[in-house]
Amino acid sequence: MLNGEPYFEDDEAVMEAYHQAMKEEEADDVSDYGGSNSENDDDFQPSSSTRRKAGSKVRKPSLSKRKPTPDISRLKVSSSVGGSPPPDDDVSIHSLDIDVTGDMEPLSALQTLRARERSIREHIAQIEREIVELEKKCGVDKAGSSDAGQSKPVIDMNEFKAPEWSVPIRANVMNFEWERLARACQFDVILMDPPWQLASQAPTRGVAIAYQQLPDVCIESLPIQILQKSGFIFIWVINNKYTKAFRLMRQWGYTYVDDIAWVKQTVNRRMAKGHGYYLQHAKETCLVGKKGADPPNLQRSVASDVIFSERRGQSQKPEEMYEIIEQLVPGGNYLEIFGRKNNLRDYWVTIGNEL
């Protein structure tokens, strides 16, 4: 025994004394306030130095009514995600509880809060940078979504290789140099899959849109008419944009001549039904327009106007569409607008901001 300090002979006696002190504390609370406090009141730990002889009276441990105000100058932010936690003597961001309404002067309080804000912002910025680096290493797309019931493999952009004879052009179609392209080449066929703006934020059940939509006025402003003197245009259309698509055809100088229906199928060759406002949707439609004279290499009646093909990723159209176009106008100049990586094809010029 050191300096007359009381002690217990074993740990069981210590815990017994501690629980006895807790019972006495709760009894005092009941007598003072008429009831016990919540479980959150048990926020202290028994001190290892509080040791007394067995059978002697135990002092009640004191409860801390208020945490001391931390010193902002001691704040240290860890710069590594998933690393080891800071030492016990460091103050974490979440534990800061600065009282700016107490004895601090307003100017001092403001400076303290600004210092705290800068520290938090630096911490958030560091985390965001590390997230970007991890996304690059994992090949994760920010959109990160796919059709319900389908699992799309993650494409490593570092390993992606475009078809040898394809011409991908990554650009924003709204400020692309269309006049320069028109001077360089006139196309026999233009294929478009516009990102139509839907009627509402949640038009259908269970559908997540993983691409940016464009208002009709933006699609109208595209100078499609300068890209073709004669030839065909194929426009994928959604149900509430039929009227708009017909108007665009007339505006760009085309006459509607036909349409192609894509009946979607599952991997088991069954009809793949999706959500619709009134009916379940199991098909998509592509309108066909024409202007000027027929291309000299036009081949008529070479394909059907119905495609039965498996549904793949969101907004990914069937390969059969490209085959129909190439059979209709073999050896032609082909252009696709609003294309994606999975649309790249030999002998096609593909323009889009997701290439």
- For every residue of 143-159, DSSP letters joined together read S----TT--PPPP-TTT
Q: Residue 275's pLDDT band (boundaries 50, 70, 90)?
A: confident
User: For 191-199, what is the mean pLDDT?
Assistant: 89
Q: Residue 198's pLDDT band (boundaries 50, 70, 90)?
A: confident
Residue scoring higher pLDDT (154 or 299): 299
What pLDDT score does 313 carry? 75
Q: Which of 6-15, 100-109, 260-269, 299-308 has the lowest mean pLDDT?
A: 6-15
What pLDDT score does 77 carry? 41
Most confident of 1-15, 42-56, 109-123: 109-123
For the entire predicted model, the pTM comes to 0.55
The whole-chain average pLDDT of the chain stands at: 75
Residue 17: other Cβ atoms inside 10 A? 22
DSSP 50: -
Task: For residue 329, count CB atoms less than 10 angstroms from its CB and return exposed for 0-12, middle for 13-18, buried for 19 or more.
Answer: buried
Q: Which of 17-31, 74-88, 119-133 has the lowest mean pLDDT?
A: 74-88
> Is a pLDDT exceeding 70 seen at residue 238?
yes
Radius of gyration of the chain measured on its C-alpha atoms:
35
Burial 273-302 (b: 16+ CB within 10 A, else e): ebeeeeeebbebebbbbbbeeebeebeeee
Amino acid at 49: S
Distance from C-alpha of 334 to C-alpha of 163, rounded to nearest angstrom: 15
What pLDDT score does 53 carry? 47
> Is a pLDDT exceeding 90 seen at residue 95?
no
> Is a pLDDT exceeding 60 seen at residue 92?
no
Q: Residue 194's pLDDT band (boundaries 50, 70, 90)?
A: very high
> Is a pLDDT exceeding 90 seen at residue 256?
yes
Torsion (CA) 100, 101, 106, 110 in degrees, nearest 10: 20
Q: Which of 56-70, 152-166, 339-353 has the lowest mean pLDDT?
A: 56-70
What pLDDT score does 109 carry? 82
- Tokens (6 digits) for 144: 């990160």
Amino acid at 134: L
Alpha helices by DSSP H, listed for the chain, are: 11-33, 106-138, 178-184, 216-220, 242-251, 319-328
> Is a pLDDT exceeding 80 seen at residue 171?
yes
Q: Which of 72-86, 257-271, 328-342 has the lowest mean pLDDT?
A: 72-86
User: For 260-282, what is the mean pLDDT?
Assistant: 90
Smallest CA-to-CA distance from 250 within 225, 267, 218 is with: 225
Beta bridge partners of 233: 190, 289
Q: Residue 265's pLDDT band (boundaries 50, 70, 90)?
A: very high
What pLDDT score does 260 carry? 97
Q: Residue 83's pLDDT band (boundaries 50, 70, 90)?
A: very low
Edge-to-edge order in the sheet of strand 348-352: 167-170, 348-352, 334-337, 189-192, 231-237, 283-291, 255-265, 306-310
Smallest CA-to-CA distance from 289 within 332, 238, 252 is with: 252
What pLDDT score does 276 carry? 81
